Structure 1
Amino acid sequence: MGIQVPARWDWELMPLEGVGPLCFGMPVTEVAAVLSGMTELRRFQADPFAEILGVEFGRGRAKPAVYSYFVDGRLFCVAVDAVQGPQVTLWGRELTACAPADLERFLLHAHWCEVLDVSYGPRGNPGVNELGLVVRVQEVAGGVVTRPVMVGRTWADRCTDDWEGAIPECEWVGRLWPHPGGTASWPPPGHKTHWAGWQPPF
């Protein structure tokens, strides 16, 4: 069951092409223009190893809703905040702010029926390369809920692989997909990274 947020936008995922009003390949100015009702909150380096620009949009001054990522000035990845972001749907199924186990059952049912080819990245996040979709989790008051991360066709190959795929490093940092006995977050407390001073922006 999802979190109820007043006036949540409804966006449909168009696999590999876009989500809601956003189309992969758009420049930053066009993304800002189509996100009516949102303002740009900040820009940041999204990956310690690649030139990826992250641009955060939100309602109000401190409520991020949509994280957009650009390479060579073009939109290639979108992530939706579980609390403030739009409700993203795929084939009528909600993807935002769901109980992880419920959404995982939906994906695995489609996998067993040979509708989708679900795979898991090294840190345990499920996704579907042919949809350009990875499902992450986000900690909220009362638990952990789902946060969809989507990429365009050019970047979908191995998108569920958090080591070799195109999704920026900042989207992999934080809470991990819940597994019994598994580590709660990455990097784990006290872990030394080799990021040459780069820190995840959130």
Structure 2
Amino acid sequence: MRWWNRKPGERVEWVLEPLVAVGPLRFGMNPDEVASALDGAIAHVSQGLGTGIGWGYYTDWGVTAVYGENSGLVGVAVDAMDGPLVRLRDIDLIARVPSEVHADIQDLARQEGAAVRVNRSGDPEIEAWGVSMGASQERGLSPEGYTQRLDTVITDALLVGPELAEDPFGSEPVIHWRDVRDEPPNVGAWPVRAEQERQHWDWAPLESVGPLRFGMKPQEVAAALSEEPAARHGRYPFGTSWEGAGQWILDEDRFDRVGVTAHYSCGHNRPPTLGAVTIHGRSGPQVEFEGIQLIGMSVSAVDTALVQHIEERDLSLIVGCGGDLGVKGLNMYVRATRAGDTVVSEARFCKAEWEDHG
């Protein structure tokens, strides 16, 4: 049952038996056995189910089942808002304040002599238990009954069997579900740059943001920022078997000193040019829209100010793929980025032809 339809106390509770089972799901089950254990649930979003490596998201339960080479269950991802409340010993793992869960895990690990490390999201990971923690932005209902973003994050988790416990998110079955290798690793710290330490950039909708003009080549972007990319992400196009992998295509450059990511549009025989810019919430320059500070602020406050601006001027609200809010015609989306137990606002500014997919 999705969280907005669930009454208090209706959330199912599961017990984690480390490396063996979580609730009714035992590692090694095939997809049919998982569906049966979940009362005949259907994976409404899936890939490769029953063909070996694959995964399925069971919407009604808020869990994703990840399967290995022989279609055996090797991992269960539990959603923060919709998933079961999983309990390990005396610790509730799901839908809690991350720092509080981290402290409880450290205490239990000391008692049991288990080693705790930090995973790529900056959260605790315990090989002895097959537990890799994470967090997602919390959501709620407005007085009018609409879903709204909150300024807090709550815990979710990836729970795995013994074959994946050494590196849960680095294993090939999990990578097919969620590939985090291109995400910048977090060491467990969440510094947010003070307002007085941020640059202040102007924004010309659909044309430019700060010194970056849409249509720039990657080398022009780096020159305008006086910084070389800290990371570059791209892909090989899908070609026919006789074409091979094709030429590598640059998708984005991340600039950590300035605090921005440049996103490029490109195509066959068309070199990459700047199509969108994400300004990072924790570290990027400040940008204002009609007196509203968009970067590094309370997400709920920015959302409220944007909605008020839109209603007062009879404009139209746009909601992006991840629930990001924007004003119709500007191709700008206010996003959220984690800052420990909370989130702060960041924004993506796009050229007119850019279709944002989160």
Q: What TM-score do the two structures reach when normalised by structure 1?
A: 0.75
- 1:101 maps to 2:141: no
In the other structure, the counterpart of 1:157 is 166
In the other structure, the counterpart of 1:185 is none
In the other structure, the counterpart of 2:233 is 193
146, 151, 174: which one aligns with 2:155: 146
- 1:71 maps to 2:81: no
In structure 2, runs of 5+ residues without a counterpart are 140-149, 193-230, 239-356
Query: What SS does the corresponding residue of 2:44 show, helix, strand or coil?
Result: strand
Following superposition of structure 1 onto structure 2, how do residues 159-178 of structure 1 map, counting pairs within 5 Å?
159=168, 162=169, 164-165=170-171, 168-169=174-175, 170=178, 172=180
Alignment CA distance shift 1:193-1:119 (3 Å): same
In structure 1, runs of 5+ residues without a counterpart are 183-190
Query: What SS does the corresponding residue of 1:96 show, helix, strand or coil?
Result: coil
Structure of higher RCO (CA pairs closer than 8 Å, 6+ residues apart): 1
Count of residues in correspondence between the two structures = 180
In the other structure, the counterpart of 1:125 is 123
Question: For the aligned residues, what is the CA RMSD?
Answer: 3.4
Deviations 1:111-164 (A, max 9, x none): 3445321111244231100101100111122211100111111221233xx4x4
Task: Report if the CA contact (8 A) 1:137-1:175 is conserved.
Answer: no
44, 47, 65: which one aligns with 2:47: 44
Give the Cα–Cα distance (whole angstroms) in 2 for the partners of residues 177 and 121 of structure 1. Answer: 8
Deviations 1:22-53 (A, max 9, x none): 0001100110111017432121369xxxx731
Range with greater deviation from structure 2 (64-73 or 166-175): 166-175
Task: Report if the CA contact (8 A) 1:24-1:76 is conserved.
Answer: yes
- 1:180 maps to 2:196: no
Query: What SS does the corresponding residue of 1:108 show, helix, strand or coil?
Result: helix
Task: Report if the CA contact (8 A) 2:124-2:132 is conserved.
Answer: yes
Give the Cα–Cα distance (whole angstroms) in 1 for the partners of residues 91 and 14 of structure 2. Answer: 11
Alignment CA distance shift 1:166-1:156 (3 Å): farther
Query: What SS does the corresponding residue of 1:154 show, helix, strand or coil?
Result: coil
In the other structure, the counterpart of 1:13 is 16
Alignment CA distance shift 1:193-1:84 (3 Å): same
Alignment CA distance shift 1:100-1:35 (3 Å): same
Give the Cα–Cα distance (whole angstroms) in 1 for the partners of residues 184 and 36 of structure 2. Answer: 30
Larger-gyration structure (1/2): 2
Give the Cα–Cα distance (whole angstroms) in 2 for the partners of residues 180 and 82 of structure 1. Answer: 20
Task: Report if the CA contact (8 A) 1:79-1:150 is conserved.
Answer: yes
Q: What TM-score do the two structures reach when normalised by structure 2?
A: 0.44
Structure 2 counterpart of 1:180, one-letter code: W
Query: What SS does the corresponding residue of 1:33 show, helix, strand or coil?
Result: helix
Alignment CA distance shift 1:37-1:25 (3 Å): closer
